[in-house]
Amino acid sequence: MPTKIKKNIDSISEKVKYQHRKDEHLSLAQKYWHDGRLSGNGLENIRLIPNTLPEISMSEVDISSQLFDHHFEKPFYIEAMTGGTPRGDKINAQLAEIAKNQHIAMAVGSQSIALKYPELEAGFTKVREIHKNGFLFANIGANIGVEEAKRAVDMIDADALEIHVNVIQEIGMPDGDKDFYWLDNINEIASLIDLPVIVKEVGFGMSQRTFKLLEETAVSGINVGGSGGTNFAWIEKHRTNPFSLFLDEQGLSLAESLIEAEYSHSSKKLIATGGIQYADQIVKSQILGASLVSSAGDILFNLVENGADYVELILDGWSSDLKRFYTLLGAKKWSDLRNSELIYSGQLLDFINQRK
């Protein structure tokens, strides 16, 4: 076979393999949304202390938040999941509609696939066409160069850039990356891109050491991406070799990661993701220092199982429940939440005792 034709065939089959993997992630994340979570995100070990005399009217409560000089009407958004396959593009379009109706931000899934195969860009640009005036996060891996990072931003006219870091997921995939010299590249991208750049874990959390390393970089924000929700070690294990004993239970939970950020005295803006399903989890994350909170698996699960209208009902519920929680805590706005008191118990208390 002539070399040129063989190269074309190899490239097509590589693209199909890549797309297949993306679609398997969607199916398995949905299938294992309940089974893959071997333990909680740690927020279940935190109790809020209600305010019996809150001296507040619920009409005074404003749940909006501020981050990177941007006003967010609601403190939650749809986190990065997909794009670059017909199925992924359809889900992204549905998510963008939801985000537009809800006046919330949205992150697209990794754009690496469209950087490599530009014919796949259309599904990503569609998100901007739908959510015209919304806040959008572009998304790339930590091994992508500065020029490609700029292309990812331009592709969706993004307002911020997420760089995902996912060592556990990559080493769980037989065809995943095995080189993890990322820090200098992250710093270079953050220094040269004229937008807020966020480093984001995908569900295994971050320790004090990581926050300290990132403190020295030009990144503006950190999404602690803790465990307790979508579990990519579990997903990769079931995708490739269900008999392997892999790192299902590794990582720090969402609550532990936020606490580690505080102990490291990180000055970076924090975003919290990992098993978010209810408004009380959003409030607890905010009290622990998160400016914004995002959710992926729960939204995907409900979109596929119950449809877009149902997801909107869930998100409406988060907004109205947040107002109730703020009232109960005597907080008129997000920054007042920091005065709230918390009670820690169980594993999280053990963690605090060892780590502080």
Ligand X SMILES: Cc1cc2nc3c(=O)[nH]c(=O)nc-3n(C[C@H](O)[C@H](O)[C@H](O)COP(=O)(O)O)c2cc1C
* Residues near ligand X, by CB under 6 A: 25-26, 29, 79-82, 109-110, 139, 162, 164, 200, 202-203, 225, 229-230, 273-276, 295-298, 300
Going from the C-alpha of 127 to that of each of 99, 137, 295, the distances in angstroms are: 10, 11, 18
- With CB atoms as reference, the residue minimizing the distance to ligand X is 229
Q: How far is the CB of 57 from ligand X (least distance, A)?
A: 33
| CB nearer ligand X, residue 89 or residue 298 | 298
Q: How far is the CB of 184 from ligand X (least distance, A)?
A: 20
| CB nearer ligand X, residue 217 or residue 229 | 229
Residue 218 CA to residue 268 CA, distance in Å, equals 10
Residue 8 CA to residue 17 CA, distance in Å, equals 14
Q: How far is the CB of 230 from ligand X (least distance, A)?
A: 3
| CB nearer ligand X, residue 202 or residue 270 | 202
| CB nearer ligand X, residue 75 or residue 329 | 75
Q: Are 336 and 328 in contact (CB under 8 A)?
A: no
| CB nearer ligand X, residue 200 or residue 340 | 200
Closest to 218 (Cα-Cα) out of 192, 236, 242, 246: 192
Residue 289 CA to residue 255 CA, distance in Å, equals 10
Q: How far is the CB of 127 from ligand X (least distance, A)?
A: 13
Strands 136-141 and 160-165 come out as parallel
| CB nearer ligand X, residue 163 or residue 348 | 163
Helix axes 3-31, 297-306, angle to 10 degrees: 90
Q: How far is the CB of 206 from ligand X (least distance, A)?
A: 12
Residue 195 CA to residue 70 CA, distance in Å, equals 12
Residue 105 CA to residue 139 CA, distance in Å, equals 13
3-state secondary structure of 88: helix
| CB nearer ligand X, residue 25 or residue 151 | 25
| CB nearer ligand X, residue 107 or residue 328 | 107
Residue 214 CA to residue 268 CA, distance in Å, equals 8
Q: How far is the CB of 11 from ligand X (least distance, A)?
A: 21
| CB nearer ligand X, residue 95 or residue 331 | 95
Q: How far is the CB of 85 from ligand X (least distance, A)?
A: 11
Write the DSSP string, 151-187: HHHHHTT-SEEEEEE-HHHHHHSTTS------HHHHH
Q: How far is the CB of 236 from ligand X (least distance, A)?
A: 12
Q: How far is the CB of 54 from ligand X (least distance, A)?
A: 30
Strands 70-72 and 221-223 come out as unpaired
Burial (Cβ within 10 Å: 0-12, 13-18, ≥19) of residue 57 = exposed
Residue 21 in tokens = 């993997």
Write the DSSP string, 109-159: ---HHHHH-GGGHHHHHHHHHHSTTS-EEEEEETT--HHHHHHHHHHTT-S
